Structure 1
Amino acid sequence: MTGIVWVDVFAIVTIVGGGVALIWKGISLLLRKLRRLTHLVDDCLGEPARPGVPARPGIFERIALIEAELRPNHGSSLRDVADRLERGLMRVEDGLAAHLEQHRADQRRNDG
């Protein structure tokens, strides 16, 4: 060291303080990353109900619910609704095509 007490004390305090600051910064960064990881795990596994907060299902339960909507179940799934709409639209298209064909046939008879 320098031999001057107050300079040596100041240097030691600065070095120790800087080391503590770096360690604190590293710990706070690690805690932030750990908090994000905890949120990810909570999203995957779900959370039980707490007072005033309803339970949240995990991501796998939510995916299972979405998959159930994509399979026909004789009436209430999104797939069944889409199939009904498609069949209805096909009936309308077929009816319109038949009507147009009839109209064209009538016009050909009137023209000919």
Structure 2
Amino acid sequence: MNPGSTGMDSLDTLVVWCGALAAVAAATGMLWRLGRVVRQIAHRVEGFSEDWQGTEPRPGVPGREGVMARLCGIEERLTAVEHELRPNSGSSMRDAIDRVDRRTLRIAPDADN
């Protein structure tokens, strides 16, 4: 110890170092938690991107089509269903129902007619 110094100087230095250590530990903990949140967000963004673009098949894991390819498939199926619901050249389900209705009316006419 210095002849003019007291034990209080070393105690003050110890308190300052402990405070600095506590601040560094708190900052490290906050950065750790922030890093976890950033990783979780990045994982979700990656999952969304894979769903949107689709994935290639891997060994043991089947591939998946992207959103746009699946929407195209839905539109094609919807077009086929719409074709069946509108009268056309006689091959749609609507035409078959209309034929059955006409035949049924000939066999048993409605009481209203």
TM-score (norm 2): 0.69
Structure having the larger proportion of residues in helix = 1
Aligned to 1:96: 104
Unaligned runs of 5+ in 2: 1-9, 87-91
Amino acid at match of 2:97: L
Secondary structure of 1:54's aligned partner: coil
Aligned to 1:32: 40
2:27 corresponds to 1:19? yes
Secondary structure of 2:62's aligned partner: coil
Supply the distance in 1 between the matched residues of 2:96 and 2:23 (Cα, whole angstroms).
79
RMSD: 2.4
Secondary structure of 2:108's aligned partner: helix
Supply the distance in 2 between the matched residues of 1:85 and 1:79 (Cα, whole angstroms).
10
Deviations along 1:67-98, one digit per CA (max 9) or x if unpaired, are: 12122xxxxx4444555332222222233333
**Considering only CA atoms, is the larger Rg found in Structure 1 or Structure 2?**
2
Unaligned runs of 5+ in 1: 72-76, 105-112
Amino acid at match of 1:16: V
Q: How does 1:1-112 map to 2 (within 5 A)?
A: 4-71=12-79, 77-82=80-85, 84-101=92-109
Q: How many residues align?
A: 97
TM-score (norm 1): 0.69
